[in-house]
């Protein structure tokens, strides 16, 4: 992956550049990301997580090949240059199979890694930090590294067998915030210590050598750590550069390493710039994108309610609430409190557990009806100003059209522009 290796080397040379990673499988998010990167003439990194996409389909119903084809089809439709597109796999390891004993879980992880690499994913996050059935809690650095090296070996062999050579790049690290945000109230957040980061690097390098994949160590470009950023249902912990300086200095001693920061959703523009400046140069974003999409869709529902008779409305909000209550397994472990508090969280939590429900056919149909209704009626400018004021100004300036899909895409692109600016990927 010469593009990512070059990006890292530019950062190491002092450019203070970076890249954001879009962690979503929603078609509108993918389209918005492709459109934004096309506008910026920049690289675009899109990652599937082990929850979303696996050899059995994940919660999206897509295998790695399916996801690759899905993204490439959208890219082709938008005339996006594929040489600027990078596919990555996030949290690849036994995450989905923690209920199994370690060897069974790792056997599944072996197949998972093989499927991702064979499908053409080039950026691989090896994450074996989770304890399986019967494992000690937490796992030692040595066990985590040993399991990660096992998967690296499989990834290298798969790439060579399928493509004749391996140009994979890897991300390692175990101090990952809870995927999708914290499940409980935020507490004081500890930044990863320099000692812990150094031990992660040392143990993984040693484990790679033991299984005979030292040759790919120079392609380990990222270390996942906790820089001191997090969000829960209603709050955000902002990045504080002063608290992360000791950690930031760690990668100065490694000529091919930068940091990968997870859960950077909802940070400020100032924080994004500071993160990149401090070598947290791969910024993961996921829930903030579908959160912005949900905001736009709910605002369109409010516009619909003003101009479309109730009998003909899409009832998208109601359909989402029904499906989430009928199938609560994606949110009930995360949203605590009484019925009213849970209802609020289902709609408005920063954790955005709604994102697991968009593939539902009934919700998808309701979204389609919402777009059809507003396309047919048109959106009056006063209502656009009332419910989507920033998009109203973009429409008035002639930057976008006022059709519902474009308005949603623009809302998502607002988030992406903040990341692109911090990573020096935009044209401004």
Q: Residues 11, 423: contact at Cβ < 8 Å?
A: no
Q: What is the pTM of this model?
A: 0.95
Q: Give the per-residue pLDDT at 427.
A: 60
Q: How confident is the model at residue 428 (pLDDT cuts 50, 70, 90)?
A: low
Closest CA to 263 of 254, 250, 272: 272
Q: Give the per-residue pLDDT at 187.
A: 60
Average pLDDT over residues 233-260: 97
Q: What tens digit of pLDDT does each residue of 322-365 get?
A: 999 999 999 999 999 999 999 999 999 999 999 999 999 999 99
Average pLDDT over residues 120-130: 97
Q: Give the per-residue pLDDT at 189.
A: 84
Is it the case that residue 179 has pLDDT exceeding 60? no
Q: What tens digit of pLDDT does each residue of 32-90 get?
A: 999 999 999 999 999 999 999 999 999 899 999 999 999 999 999 999 999 999 999 99
Q: How confident is the model at residue 382 (pLDDT cuts 50, 70, 90)?
A: very high
Beta bridge partners of 49: 90
- What is the distance between the alpha carbons of residues 5 and 92, in angstroms, rounded to a whole number? 20
Q: How confident is the model at residue 181 (pLDDT cuts 50, 70, 90)?
A: very low
Token code pair at residue 281: 């140069």
Cα dist. 362→107, 213, 315, 341 in Å? 35, 47, 11, 25
Cα dist. 334→137, 175, 233, 295 in Å? 21, 20, 9, 20
- What is the distance between the alpha carbons of residues 191 and 239, in angstroms, rounded to a whole number? 10
Q: Give the per-residue pLDDT at 175.
A: 65
DSSP label at residue 242: G
User: What's the mean pLDDT when you consider all of the chain?
Assistant: 95
Buried b (16+ CB within 10 A) or exposed e, 233-244: beebbebebeeb
Average pLDDT over residues 380-395: 98
Token code pair at residue 165: 């050579």
What's the helix, strand, coil split of the chain in %, to 5? 55, 10, 35
Q: Give the per-residue pLDDT at 426.
A: 77
Q: How confident is the model at residue 218 (pLDDT cuts 50, 70, 90)?
A: very high
Domains of the chain: 2-285 (3.20.20.70), 290-414 (1.10.400.20)
Q: How confident is the model at residue 177 (pLDDT cuts 50, 70, 90)?
A: very low
Q: What tens digit of pLDDT does each residue of 263-305 get?
A: 999 999 999 999 999 999 999 999 999 999 999 999 999 999 9
- What is the distance between the alpha carbons of residues 412 and 417, in angstroms, rounded to a whole number? 9
The enclosing H or E element of 92 equals strand 85-92
Longest dimension (CA), the chain: 68
**DSSP calls for 374-405:** HHHH---HHHHHHH-HHHHHHHHTTSS---HH
Tokens 């997090």 belong to which residue? Answer: 230
- What is the distance between the alpha carbons of residues 84 and 19, in angstroms, rounded to a whole number? 12
Is it the case that residue 178 has pLDDT exceeding 90? no
What is the β-pairing status of strands 123-126 and 230-231? unpaired
- What is the distance between the alpha carbons of residues 26 and 291, in angstroms, rounded to a whole number? 12
Closest CA to 155 of 79, 211, 229: 211
Is it the case that residue 231 has pLDDT exceeding 90? yes
| C-alpha of 364 from chain center | 21
The percent of residues in the chain predicted with pLDDT above 70, rounded, is 96
């Amino acid at each position: 992956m010469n593009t990512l290796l070059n990006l890292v080397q530019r950062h190491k040379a002092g450019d203070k550049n970076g890249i954001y990673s879009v962690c979503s499988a929603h078609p509108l998010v993918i389209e918005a990301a492709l459109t934004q990167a096309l506008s910026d003439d920049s690289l675009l990194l899109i990652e599937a997580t082990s929850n979303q996409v696996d050899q059995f389909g994940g919660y999206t119903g897509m295998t790695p090949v399916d996801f690759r084809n899905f993204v490439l089809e959208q890219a082709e439709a938008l005339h996006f240059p594929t040489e600027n597109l990078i596919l990555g796999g996030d949290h690849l390891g036994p995450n989905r199979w923690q209920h199994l004993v370690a060897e069974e879980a790792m056997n599944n992880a072996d197949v998972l890694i093989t499927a991702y690499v064979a499908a053409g994913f080039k950026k691989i996050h090896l994450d074996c930090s989770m304890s399986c059935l019967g494992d000690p809690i937490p796992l030692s650095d040595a066990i985590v590294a040993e399991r990660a090296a096992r998967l690296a070996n499989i990834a290298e062999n798969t790439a060579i067998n399928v493509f004749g050579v391996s140009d994979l790049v890897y991300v390692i690290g175990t101090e990952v915030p809870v995927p999708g945000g914290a499940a409980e109230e935020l507490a004081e957040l500890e930044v990863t210590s320099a000692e812990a980061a150094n031990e992660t690097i040392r143990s993984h390098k040693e484990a790679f050598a033991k299984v005979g994949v030292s040759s790919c160590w120079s392609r380990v470009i990222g270390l996942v750590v906790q820089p001191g950023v997090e969000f829960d249902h209603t709050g955000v912990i902002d990045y504080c550069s002063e608290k992360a300086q000791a950690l930031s200095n760690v990668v100065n001693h490694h000529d091919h390493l930068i940091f990968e920061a997870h859960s950077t959703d909802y940070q400020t523009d100032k924080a994004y710039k500071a993160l990149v400046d401090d070598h947290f140069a791969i910024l993961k974003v996921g829930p903030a994108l579908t959160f912005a999409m949900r905001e736009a869709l709910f605002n369109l529902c409010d516009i619909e309610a003003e101009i479309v008779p109730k009998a003909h409305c899409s009832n998208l909000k109601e359909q989402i609430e029904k499906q989430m209550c009928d199938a609560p397994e994606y949110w009930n472990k995360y949203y605590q409190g009484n019925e009213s508090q849970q209802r609020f969280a289902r709609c408005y939590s920063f954790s955005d557990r709604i994102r697991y429900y968009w593939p539902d056919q009934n919700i998808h149909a309701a979204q389609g009806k919402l777009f059809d209704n507003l396309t047919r009626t048109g959106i009056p400018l006063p209502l656009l100003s009332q419910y989507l004021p920033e998009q109203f100004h973009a429409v008035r300036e002639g930057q976008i059209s006022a059709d519902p899909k474009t308005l949603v895409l623009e809302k998502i692109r607002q988030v992406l522009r903040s990341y692109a600016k911090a990573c020096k990927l935009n044209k401004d």
